[in-house]
Amino acid sequence: MVTSIRFLEDLRRFWRRSRSTILVGLALALGATAIGAFVNWRRVGAANKVIEALRLRRDIDIGVDARSEVLLARIGFLSARNEFDRARILLEALDRNGAPHTRARGHYLLANSLLRQALTHIEGSELDAASPFVNLAKREYRRALQLYPDFWDAKYNLDVAARLVRDFPDFDRKGGDELSADPKKLWTDIPGKPKGLP
């Protein structure tokens, strides 16, 4: 009992002596926290403006040290314009600093653009030109799935790209001048659909 009373008296004396120092320290800590929150709020606001401008298809150049959300928006913008090399530079920066889900989304956006380019070449019967785009798209889809295994859209699109390789086996061929395309192999197999009469 005596020790607890002595402890309380020591605590009161300490509070009387250092009350102003503690209050000043708390005030400074709260001030620093408020300033940090304000600076972060301004950065988030600026990032949202850039993302909105990119969504509206305005070309805004950003650095590789931008926030991961801004990098992702710029990757989507560049991929939609088929500027694959510029998008890949930002994707490498995103891979260094972004969260796995955000990184997976970046690889998915680039892969979609590569696959669209491949399909454009296929529609124009330019199978030689389509082959590298299909293979690059498959690689990007696989990378997205490594980062985020439950990414269903990436799984589906990887299956589409894999079916293109199966339906156009010459995509894997390394040499030769002519590509043969059997008209029967141009259609993908639909699961559950019979292939012919019994």
pLDDT, one tens digit per residue, over 109-122 is: 999 999 999 989 88
Whether 115 contacts 156, CB under 8 Å: no
- Is residue 45's pLDDT more than 60? yes
- The pTM score is 0.65
**What pLDDT is attached to residue 98?**
83
> pLDDT-derived band of residue 168, with 50, 70 and 90 as boundaries?
low
SS3 label, residue 45: helix
C-alpha–C-alpha distance, residues 142 and 151, integer Å = 10
The burial class, CB within 10 Å (0-12 / 13-18 / 19+), for 147 is buried
**What pLDDT is attached to residue 2?**
63
Across 106-137, b (16+ Cβ under 10 Å) vs e yields bbbbbbbbbbebbbebbeeeebeebbebbbbb
> pLDDT-derived band of residue 176, with 50, 70 and 90 as boundaries?
very low
**What pLDDT is attached to residue 81?**
87
> pLDDT-derived band of residue 106, with 50, 70 and 90 as boundaries?
very high
